[in-house]
Amino acid sequence: MRSLVLFSFVLLFASACISNKRIVYLQNLPGDEPIELDEFIPFAEYDKNYILQPFDVVDIDFASADEELTKAFEFQGSRNMRMGGMGMMGAGDMFFMTGYVIDVDGYVNLPRLGKIKISGLTEEQARIKVEEAIREYFKDDVYVRLRIGGIRFTALGEFNNSGTKVMLKHRATIFDAIALAGESNILAKKNKLFLIRQYDGGSKIHQINLNDRALLASPYYFIQNNDILYLEPMNIRQFGRADNLAASLGLIISVTSSIILIFALVGRNL
């Protein structure tokens, strides 16, 4: 019986311990060409120009020598709301209230100009298209600034602060997103981060290994608008949280004590 109890204790202890190799970011993994410290890592080829999609929120602003002319293209008070909204509300709420949502058919509805289709275009292409539409109606020069209202993504699974997030950046890395989502806890499978990315007409699921230093040269190192990040839990999750050593030891002692008590009761009855 002692041997069985000792074996059970060792088995539980082994299952509760998590190797550093499973939780440390950016390692030189076996089979990969090592990337040394201070070594230059060029970015992978990827589409740097985001393609606008239905339901994206875009911020469109106008500039002209004639202030009254630019006001004709804005919803009432939207410019003032943009200027003062940063300190009054969350960044995502600000752009949702003052930006323009691309509808399901790919159009934005602008004051005076009506509906203009901009989905399937880059930000610069969409800006030029809106600017050309304005100049068809007015002789004075009106300049347009069009940009995505921040990078919106969703973090699910083993994050400490999961949910939909917004970063006010034109470019953000996967680690920017992880930091904003509260980083992953110790029970996350860092070698299995699933990235669900939206493409023209559908989605694709990509698997990312956060333990691998080669990620820095991956086309998925930079996240895009509407990305979904999902981190799987380790199998140890079924035994309890085990977020720290005290929790792990408490779990081991509790289960081991139960096993000893059961064998003691069975031994008395034999």
DSSP of 161-180: T-EEEEE--S-EEHHHHHHH
Binning pLDDT at 50, 70 and 90, where does residue 51 land?
Answer: confident
Residue-level pLDDT at 242: 47
Most confident by average pLDDT, 65-69, 74-78, 85-89, 200-204: 200-204
The closest of 232, 233, 231, 204 to 220, measured between CA atoms, is: 204
What are the two backbone dihedrals, phi and then psi, of residue 85, each rounded to the nearest 5 degrees?
-75, -20
pTM of the model: 0.69
Is pLDDT above 80 for 173? yes
Q: In the CATH scheme, what is the homologous superfamily, with its name and number, of domain 21-48+151-233?
A: Outer membrane lipoprotein wza domain like (3.10.560.10)
- For the chain, the domains span 2-18+238-269, 21-48+151-233, 57-148
Binning pLDDT at 50, 70 and 90, where does residue 270 land?
Answer: low
Q: 259: which 2 tokens?
A: 């096993």
Tens-place pLDDT, residues 214-262: 999 998 999 998 999 999 887 665 555 545 545 555 666 677 777 777 7
Q: 144: which 2 tokens?
A: 């347009």
Task: Say whether domain 57-148 belongs to CATH 3.30.70.2190.
Answer: no
Ramachandran quadrant class, 53 (left: phi over 0; alpha: psi -120 to 50; beta: rest):
beta
Q: What would the mean pLDDT of 34-49 be, rounded to a whole number? A: 79
Binning pLDDT at 50, 70 and 90, where does residue 87 land?
Answer: very low
Q: What would the mean pLDDT of 32-61 be, rounded to a whole number? A: 83
Is pLDDT above 80 for 20? no
**Distance of alpha carbon 150 from its chain centroid, rounded?**
12
Q: 145: which 2 tokens?
A: 């600034």
Of the ranges 40-49, 155-164, 168-177, which one carries the lowest mean pLDDT score?
40-49
The closest of 159, 164, 162, 128 to 145, measured between CA atoms, is: 128
